Amino acid sequence: MDETRTPSVRAAILEAATDLIRIHGVAGTSISDVIARSGTSAGAIYHHFGSKERLVLEVGRNAVARPMMMVMQTSVGLSPTHLLDAALAQVGRDEHTPELLLQIWAGARSDIPLSRVLRTEASGVRAGIRAYLAAWCAENAPTADPDSIVDLITGLVMGYAVQRALALNSDPDAYRALASGLLDAVIEAAHRGPTPAAVAEQSDSGGLRAPVQVARQ
């Protein structure tokens, strides 16, 4: 049996890469470092992941994307606020996850191949979340714009990760409550529709914009 192909070898590589990237960053982590820490081989790494960029991508997937997709697959009809709560809980599940995410995002700024891989992945994850929320909006808040809600959730989750990683927020529970309240308020405002003043302003200007979307400039 080829031991380089076993699930335990793959798990050892991922664990080693996760620890190294969190501590040293993407640029400061080499394939040689992963080999030494995991006790595996270059052949095993390239067999399971193909490249350093794909290894980093898989580290990021395990941190947030894959658990979030599992939440959506196993929980039908979650509201945007409940989905946000699940995302924030995933980011804050341990003290190391925010640091890891920040290192991956920083690494993508200077690593063009990694940036391309992450952008493709992010587009796919975003499309999945949008489709999930579009179904909820159609049933519960048909005037809300799913794209705007996804953008807001993404921004709130990334802000939470940055604040946790840099120790800028000593009260994560307060952040989560504030974020949930903000999202609820945005959805409620869209559900109520535009104010009479907003409608009059659009009429006076001859605008043809859809009147009941969450603002998405």
CATH number reported for the structural domain that contains residue 43 in this entry: 1.10.10
Do the domain assignments include residue 101?
A: yes
Confidence band of 198 (pLDDT split at 50, 70, 90): very low
Same domain, 68 and 38: no
Do the domain assignments include residue 19?
A: yes
Do the domain assignments include residue 215?
A: no
Give the CA count within 13 Å in the CB-facing half-sphere of 127.
6
Same domain, 64 and 44: no
Residue of 108 and 210 predicted with greater confidence: 108
In three state form, how does the secondary structure of the chain look?
A: CCHHHCHHHHHHHHHHHHHHHHHHCCCCCCHHHHHHHHCCCHHHHHHHCCCHHHHHHHHHHHHHHHHHHHHHHHCCCCCHHHHHHHHHHHHCCCCHHHHHHHHHHHHHHHCHHHHHHHHHHHHHHHHHHHHHHHHHHHHHCCCCCHHHHHHHHHHHHHHHHHHHHCCCCCCHHHHHHHHHHHHHHHHHHHHHCCCHHHHHHHHHHCCCCCCCCCCCC
pLDDT tens, 23-60? 999 999 999 999 999 999 999 999 999 999 999 999 99
Which residues constitute the domain of residue 158? 60-192
Most confident of 65-79, 153-167, 191-205: 153-167
Same domain, 21 and 80: no
Task: Give how many domains the chain has, as a whole number.
Answer: 2
pLDDT at 117: 94
Same domain, 46 and 71: no
Same domain, 157 and 70: yes
Do the domain assignments include residue 176?
A: yes
Percent with pLDDT over 70 in the chain: 86
Residue 2 has pLDDT above 70, yes or no: no
Confidence band of 201 (pLDDT split at 50, 70, 90): low
Same domain, 1 and 66: no
Do the domain assignments include residue 199?
A: no
Same domain, 159 and 99: yes
Residue range 81-101: mean pLDDT, rounded:
92
- Domain final residue, candidates 50, 76, 91: 50
State pTM to two decimals: 0.81
Same domain, 143 and 186: yes
Same domain, 46 and 145: no
Residue at 105: amino acid letter: W
pLDDT at 19: 97
Same domain, 32 and 89: no
Confidence band of 1 (pLDDT split at 50, 70, 90): very low
Do the domain assignments include residue 55?
A: no
Residue range 71-98: mean pLDDT, rounded:
90
Same domain, 109 and 181: yes
pLDDT at 70: 85
Do the domain assignments include residue 210?
A: no
Residue range 138-158: mean pLDDT, rounded:
94
pLDDT at 206: 52
Do the domain assignments include residue 209?
A: no
Same domain, 92 and 162: yes
